[in-house]
Amino acid sequence: MFSVYAFILCLIGFFALAFAKTRHWKLLFARKLTERKKHALWATGSGSLIIALLFLKTEWGWALGLCFYAGLLSLSMFAVVFSLSYLENRKPKRLRA
């Protein structure tokens, strides 16, 4: 079960890290990305990635946990990239509406 939580945390982590960049922030929010928000997002992102690793360590131990971590990082990053490009494609339509 910890592995599922870890996967969700990895997704949250990468989404937060992505939205800490102005380019991706603009996809969802009209308001400006302030420095403070940027830092908060960055901290949330890195924090959840670290907690994900700790979760995996609890369930599998370091040796297997790190293997799982590498795999889950790849998978979640790929998922985040694709959802961002999906958002990007939708953006013009929403602006028209």
Partner 1 sequence: MTWLHTWAGLVFCWLLYFMFVTGTLGYLDTELDQWMKPEMKPAQEQNLGQDLSQAVAFLQNKAPDAERWFISPANHRDNPQLRVSWHYPRDSDKSNGRALIDQHNGEELEHRDTAGGQTLYRMHYRLHYLPSGWGFRLTSIFTLAMFIALLTGVVAHRKLFKDFFSFRPQKGKAAWLDMHNVTSIASLPFQLMITYSGLIFAITTWMPFIGVGAYDFDVKSLRKDLNELRGTPRIEASGESAELIDMHQLANNITAQFGSDNKVRFIEIRHPGDRHAKAFVRSHLSGPIQEQQSLQFNAVTAQLENQQKESNALEVRNTFINLHEGLFAGPGLRLLYILSGLLGCIMVATGAIYYAQKRRREKQAPSRQQTLLDILNGGTIVGLPIAICGFMLANRLLPITLEDRADWEVHCLFLSWLATFAMAGMYAHKAMWHKLCLSLAICLLAVPLVNYVSVERGLGQTSLESDPLFVISDWVFLGLVGLSTVVSYFLKRKSLAPSSANQRALQTGQTV
Residues in contact with partner 1 by the rule CB under 8 A: 3, 14, 17-18, 21, 23-24, 61, 63-64, 67-68, 70-75, 77-78, 80-82, 84-85, 88-89
What's the min distance (Å) between Cβ of 54 and partner 1?
A: 18
53 Cα distance to chain centroid? 14
Query: Per-residue DSSP letters for 35-51?
Result: HHHHHHHHHHHHHHHHH
By beta-carbon proximity to partner 1, the closer residue of 21 and 37 is 21
| 8 A C-beta contact, residue 17 and residue 45 | yes
Q: Rounded to whole angstroms, how far apart are CA atoms 97 and 87?
A: 15
Comparing CB distances to partner 1, the nearer of 54 and 85 is 85
Least Cβ distance, residue 69 to partner 1 (angstroms): 8
- Given the complex with partner 1, which of 54 and 67 has the nearer CB atom? 67
Distance of CA 29 to the CA centre of its chain: 17
